[in-house]
A and B are shown apart, each in its own frame.
Chain A
Amino acid sequence: MAYITLKNIKKEYTMGEIKIKALDKASFDIEKGELAVILGPSGAGKTTVLNILGGMDSCDSGEVIVDGNNITKYNKHKLVLYRRYDIGFVFQFYNLVQNLTALENVELASQICKNPLDPTTCLERVGLAKRLKNFPAQLSGGEQQRVAIARAIAKNPKLLLCDEPTGALDSKTGRKILELLQEMARKYKMTTIIITHNAQIAQIADRVIHMKNGTVSEITINKNPKNVSEIDW
């Protein structure tokens, strides 16, 4: 059994009088320690998958099994604990708390976890050892995203979910972020899922899940994923 399994996930949104099928029988597996990329155009349902996988949203039917636990059966409270202990999020717009320094943003996450990594170590890992006491506003976009990654990994989660992590960054900075994420998966065996519409990024993944109109159209497995430096942007 795979580390993460999605089976026949369905999700409908009601927008006024129109029903939108966001997900229609989406299924895929991801193995532990893999760097997976969910690839698709906007509106394909990839963010919905991420939300459901991250315990932020529920599905109408189907099963999501993470490390043997069926999270679709979780109640609200259990979902909070699931997010708290098992998931690390990285967003397109970083979502750092503006009023906290880089270190404090990481501490914000680590202090509520059972086995957190040392916040300073995490920031050192993402290369921000010298910017611990800077506020988000004093950091560049890439640096902010690195803080966000540090915050996510400091929780020592089972799963690192990244929603367009490079979407707001220039290519040079984006590359660095991707390198960091790849390193996390490879070096620290962190199961990482990146959502992107950029097919280039898919080349660095162990597994690429192609999505289209709410369904998984194709799953490809890269035997030899490329390094970030090798891809063209």
Chain B
Amino acid sequence: MFLLLKSTFAKIRKSFGRFLSIVLIVALGTGFFAGLREAAPDMLSTVDHYYRGNQLMDFKITSTMGLTDDDIKSLENLNNTAKVVPSYSIDVLVNGEAVKLHAIEKNINNITLKSGRLPKNKNECLGDANHFKLNEKVSFTKDNLNNFTNISSCQITGLIDSVLYISTEKGISSEGNGKLESFIFLPKEAFSLEYYTEAYLIASGTDKAEAYSSDYDQNIATLKKELEVLKPLQETKRYEEILAEATKEIAKAEDELNNKLKEAKNTLTNTKNELDSNKTKIDNGLAEIARSETTLAQESQSKQQEIADGLQSIANKRQEIINTLASFNLTVDNLENTLTNLKAAIENCQTNCEQLNTQYQTLSTINESLNTLNKTETELNQNKQTLQTSISQAQKKLAKQKQQLLANKAELEAGFKAYEEGLQELENNQNEALAKINEQKEKLNTLEKPVWYLLDRTANNGYTSFYEDASKVEAIAKVFPIFFILVAGLMGLNTMTRLIEEERTEIGILTSLGYSQIKIISGYIFYCLLATFIGVALGLSVGYYLIPTVVYSIYNANYVLPDLFISAKPVQFSFVFTCAAVLMSAVTIYVTMRDLKEKPAILLRPKAPKNGKKVLLEKISFIWKHLSFTWKITIRNIFRYKKRVFMTLIGIAGCTALLLTGFGLKDGINGIGTLQYEDIQKYDTLISLKDNVETIPSNLINSLENNHVTDAILVNQEAYTFTAKNKNHDVYVISPENAQALNKHIKLHSTITEKDTTLPDYGAVITSKMAKLLNVSPGDTIKIRDSQNHLYILYVADITENYIMHYIYLSPSYYKEIINNQNTYNMVMANVDSQNYDQVSTNLLKNEYINAINYTKDNMESYDIIIKGMNKIVYLIIGAAILLALIVLYNLVIINMNERQREIATLKVLGFKGKEISSYVYRETIILMIIGIIIGIFLGLILHGYVIITAETDNIVFLQKVNLLSYVYAILLTILSSIIVQIITYRYLLKIDMIESLKALDQ
């Protein structure tokens, strides 16, 4: 046994090239096979490590009205939540670009600090490592910013990657031009919101489930079910809370108002009462004064009358006296004298004395009464005087009193006026307050129910697209490696067969020396296993490392991800090695056994060279005759070594087929961007509106026209889902305001009639891939569901050409009939006659109707980025195909030369020049190459047809057509590989030693 091992190593040393070629073939086959197969799993396992290591949330819950502690508690109480973290995020503008501010959280959506340090206070923050610079000061702007944060700028103390943003496409934003450019993480205390903007959830069990796995999906689905139950409850609860709170507040406001009114009214009433009583008092006073005046007047009048009467009677009495006097011929004035005279006469007289006495008596009485009269008159006059004075005094007093009262009255009047004013004001205030209350009531009536959004990881741009990318790699990995391993396997077997055939003399010697069959076979098996093991080890270590790394680096251009995590794969390694070893050993045993059946004596003699034979073509003598001598030899040789010819054909055809598939795949992907975004979606922009409208507002029209936006039509675009093969797919339902107008922006090209068509009044036009997934044709019906899970059944009128995503086009009337009985529109589809899209965006976003602006050009660019990645994979395949061709062809040419060494040496001895010998040898290779290429093209078309369908993702249609140039490239590269092999092997050809080759029959 030891000797056999020794002889095996001697064999390896002797023809190291052959050993190496087996090693390389095994390495290439297994390496490419395993490497490409493991690329997708490695990519997915890397992101899975990243997700789980950084505790990427499974769900993000947001609400249109924010989340409360109660909401958080309700989430925590769910059976299947492992973790609930309430948090904040808001969109702001930084230098005119939309940036999302997040709160720094621990133990969820962890950030990876690339440089710098964590913030120490709320004025410090962490910035996107791919966007900000360390120590940069960042200012934010946003309407009512201080409602959201208590800072307006921050200093970047650390640069980070976030597991939330693995894609360079960060999604959409409510700020700026609608495209989210970057992110910043702030300490939680920097936020001043009264409610949480979102809650991050980790579902129980997902810490043990690999991302994207069905296990993961199940965990998510379980929680999602619970969440879907909770969602309406909490929405309603929150709605009712808000409603109750608002109602309460309104009631309170009303109460307050009423109280205030009451109070004000009371005060006013009191004032009024006082005023009224004052008024009464004043009025009474005035009345009394009036009465006093009257009394006074009456009294003074009566008194004056009395006095006047007295005076009258006095006057009367005086008249009487005068009259009496007059009878005496006397007057009042001479009475006194008369009396004196009389008195004197009386005294002197005794005659007539009596008379005189009597006269005197009478006169004296008259005089006395006159005197009394005068006295009374004087008295009366005095009384009159007094009366006058006292009346005047009383009058004065009354007047004064009246004046006072009148002054009071004026005051009172002012009081009344103030009171009136107060009353008016009160009324005004009341109306105002009521109006306010009513307004709030009105608001309350139109209060919209809060809506929860349950966003699982698929809502994250990068999460889904990375999976899509990995799936594409996987789809391609399904087909290509099989071809590789097939060709490499055949080659390995062929080489091994050849090796043992050449060893027949040794087998003969060993047999004749009495070695057992098992010992002899085990020697070869050892050789073969050694080569296989080294090959597998080499192939897998290079393949497992190189191919996933290359593939990953290609995709990494679109992602922000950690380095590829390449796991050790002992199981896969053992499996591949076992398969390769079993296969190789089986051939070794088969071929060796075949030799061992023969007698040693026969084995010791050289195996007779393969006999020459006439080929069929020679019977067609008119062709054969015209062939040159070397051509005849070539043709005969081709038919002589059938196995080698077969192998060569497989190698070359395989190479051509792989190349054609690779280039065809490139054609298939590269073409569709232009087709979709230029030929089919002809519009330049899709402008989303803040509210649904029925007609285009004139303000908007002006704004659009002023910014070079033309051909604007209103469309309604909503996302729906449909289910095909147990998988949900998103589909956009587009309904224009006018079916004819849609043609200007979207090309509907029926795949049924192969003609351009217009939206029919009745029925939906659906896109081709959707029709294919659902396996429907015009006349069938399809089911779609909206986000609330409402089911709509649509009649399929036509199927239209489309390459990216799914769309359903509905005429306004059909939309009205099936989906919504009111035609409203949320988008404007238009062209832009300007190169400066940024300027257009900036200007348009100022318009109150416009929410966001999306450009078709941007869609195409993001598609192109994906395409670039795909192209690199195609290059990898092309490279590998060439490598395969080189190794296979090299091997075959070397085997060919070995087999024909004697023949070549003979030619050399005969004096053939180098060129003549090589053309003799290579001519058949060239013919085989031509035949191989032709076969390869047919094979390639079949392979390409399969690959393009396999590699196609659910929402993309690849082009089936292979460009002419791709055929040219595939052919040229095959020829190039063949030429390279010929150049390499030509040196080998020159080295063939005439003397050694011709000396003996073996060795």
Contacts and interface: CB of A to CB of B under 8 A. Distances in A.
A100 B910 CA distance: 15
B1001 A100 contact: no
A180 interface: no
Contacts of A99: 612-613, 633, 636-637, 640
Interface string B913-957: 110100000000000000000000000000000000000000000
A81 interface: yes
Contacts of B1000: 93
Interface stretch (B109-117, B434-442, B901-909): B901-909
A220 interface: no
A136 to B, nearest CB: 7
Contacts of A77: 913
A84 interface: yes
B1001 A136 contact: no
Given A57-B995, A99-B612, A99-B636, A108 B910 contact: yes
B568 to A, nearest CB: 45
Contacts of A137: 608-609, 611-612
A95 interface: yes
B610 interface: yes
Interface string A46-73: 0000010010110000000000000000
Given A57-B995, A85-B911, A112-B912, A95 B611 contact: no
Contacts of B913: 77, 80, 84
A97 B917 CA distance: 13
B2 interface: no
A2 to B, nearest CB: 24
Contact of B902 (A82, A85, A95): A95
A97 B906 contact: yes
Interface string B991-1003: 0001100101100
> Which of B907, B998, B1000 counts the most chain A CB atoms within 10 A?
B998
Nearest to A87: B911
Interface in A95-117: 95-101, 104, 107-109, 111-112
A84 B906 CA distance: 12
Contact of A104 (B629, B907, B910): B629
A81 B910 CA distance: 9
B609 to A, nearest CB: 5
Contacts of B613: 99, 135
B911 A112 contact: yes
B133 interface: no
B994 A100 contact: no
A185 B829 CA distance: 101
A135 B640 CA distance: 13
A21 interface: no
Nearest to B914: A80
Contacts of A93: 998, 1000-1001
B632 interface: yes
A82 B916 CA distance: 16
Interface string A6-46: 00000000000000000000000000000000000000000
Contacts of B911: 80-85, 87, 112, 155
A3 interface: no
Instruction: Report, as a range, how many residues of chain A touch the other chain.
Output: 20 to 34
Nearest to A77: B913
A69 to B, nearest CB: 15
Contacts of B632: 104
Interface residues of B, number: 30
Nearest to B999: A47
Nearest to A55: B911
Contact of A84 (B610, B612, B912): B912
Interface in B954-1003: 994-995, 998, 1000-1001
A168 to B, nearest CB: 9
Contacts of A85: 911
Contacts of B906: 95-97
B998 A91 contact: yes
A104 B633 contact: yes
A57 to B, nearest CB: 6
Contact of A89 (B609, B633, B909): B909
Nearest to B639: A99
Main secondary structure of the interface of B (DSSP, over half): helix
Nearest to B635: A99
A205 B910 CA distance: 25
A151 B907 CA distance: 12
A62 to B, nearest CB: 18
A54 to B, nearest CB: 7
Interface in B628-650: 629, 632-633, 636-637, 640
Contacts of B640: 99
A70 to B, nearest CB: 19
A100 B633 contact: yes
Contacts of A135: 611-613
Given A89-B909, A95-B998, A108 B611 contact: no
Contacts of B995: 51, 56-57
Contacts of B637: 99
Contact of B910 (A51, A101, A112): A112
A106 to B, nearest CB: 11
Contacts of A87: 911
A107 B906 CA distance: 14
Interface in A153-193: 155
B910 A56 contact: no
Given A51-B995, A108-B629, A111-B629, A101 B612 contact: yes
Contacts of B994: 56
Interface-centre pick from A77, A95, A101 (highest chain B CB count, 10 A) = A95
A162 to B, nearest CB: 13
Contacts of B636: 99-100
Contacts of A104: 629, 632-633
A56 B992 CA distance: 12
Nearest to A79: B911
A75 B909 CA distance: 15
A112 B612 contact: no
A89 B905 CA distance: 12
A58 B598 CA distance: 42
A198 to B, nearest CB: 19
A1 to B, nearest CB: 25
A52 B499 CA distance: 33
B611 A83 contact: no
A100 B906 CA distance: 13
Interface string A104-133: 100111011000000000000000000000
B511 to A, nearest CB: 25
A136 B611 CA distance: 8
Contacts of B610: 98
A135 B639 CA distance: 15
A136 B998 contact: no
A107 B630 CA distance: 10
A104 B636 CA distance: 12
Nearest to A111: B629
Nearest to A97: B903
B629 A109 contact: no
Contacts of B908: 80, 83
Interface string B598-611: 00000000001111
Nearest to A88: B910
Contacts of A112: 910-912, 916
A40 B910 CA distance: 26
B609 A54 contact: no
A100 B611 CA distance: 9
Given A80-B911, A84-B911, 9 more contacts: A56-B994, A77-B913, A81-B911, A84-B910, A91-B998, A95-B902, A97-B633, A107-B629, A136-B612
10 contacts: A80-B914, A95-B905, A97-B903, A98-B609, A98-B612, A98-B903, A99-B640, A100-B636, A108-B633, A111-B629
Which 4 residue pairs are nearest across A and B when measured between Cβ atoms? A84-B911, A135-B612, A83-B911, A137-B611
Interface of A: 51, 54, 56-57, 77, 80-85, 87, 89, 91, 93, 95-101, 104, 107-109, 111-112, 135-138, 151, 155
